[in-house]
Amino acid sequence: MVRGSRTPLVALALVLATASCVGPFEQLEGQEFIPNYAANASKSGILVRDMYVVGPPAGERVGPGTALPVYMTVISQLGHDDRLVEVRAPGTFEGGEVNGGTMQVPPKGMAGGGPAPQARLTGLTRELRSGVYISVDLRFQRTGTIRVETPVLTPDDWRATLSPWPAAPAPPSPSPSPLPASPTPVAPTAPGGLTPTPTPS
């Protein structure tokens, strides 16, 4: 059962605020994460923390074709960088995309978090309500795929302050077509190729 009303990012913020001035991973190393609304998973030194999907308000459903935003924090214990290149939820959504195309995870560092979504799932295949879990696959360039059983949360409470998926840029306005040039008048030609001479009045 989901309890409490604090944002999942509070757990990370408390750890970072009390840590010494060292790298992001050293700040988190050995710390216990406070239980939160969101999902946690890990594989081969890549830790996914505080991951959730924002769905419809309580008591409502979204229909097929809907896209929903995904929020997460990714922590690396590795000595090399990695990159989130794909997000999918097979059987529930037809596709997905990472905000900005990919998300770089620095060595022994952190990526994601904050109010903007890190990814979104597109093309919902069936009706969906908040309060359920869906299987989401995160594919990293070097680490491979991590499956996360992810909760779908309502958009109220602290989630009301989150940013939506960025809107697509508006297409450029077409340039106005130039006006056609006026035709140059041509003097009439008399039979035989001679130009007629005006007759004085």
- Which of 122, 169, 151, 143 has the alpha carbon at shortest distance from 54? 151
* Model confidence, pTM: 0.70
Q: pLDDT class for 172, splitting at 50, 70, 90?
A: confident
The residue ranges of every structural domain in the chain are 38-161
| CA angle in degrees (0–180, nearest 5) for 42-44-49 | 25
Superfamily (CATH) of domain 38-161: PCu(A)C copper chaperone (2.60.40.1890)
Mean per-residue pLDDT over the chain, rounded: 81
Q: For the chain, how many residues are written?
A: 201
Least confident of 5-9, 72-76, 124-128: 5-9
Residue in 56, 61, 60, 84 with CA at minimum distance from that of residue 72: 84
Q: Which of 42-46, 144-148, 153-157, 180-184 is the least confident region?
A: 180-184
| R_g over Cα of the chain | 30
Q: Which residues contact 53 (CB under 8 A, 6 or more apart)?
A: 68, 69, 70, 71, 121, 134, 136, 150, 151, 152, 153
Could you tell me what percent of the chain has a pLDDT over 90?
62
Token pair recorded at residue 105: 């995870």
Q: Who contacts 200 (Cβ-Cβ below 8 Å, separation ≥6)?
A: none
Q: Give the start-end residues of each E strand in the chain.
A: 39-43, 46-54, 61-62, 68-76, 82-88, 93-98, 103-105, 110-112, 119-124, 128-129, 133-140, 144-153
Q: Once rounded to an integer, what is the mean pLDDT over residues 14-19?
A: 40
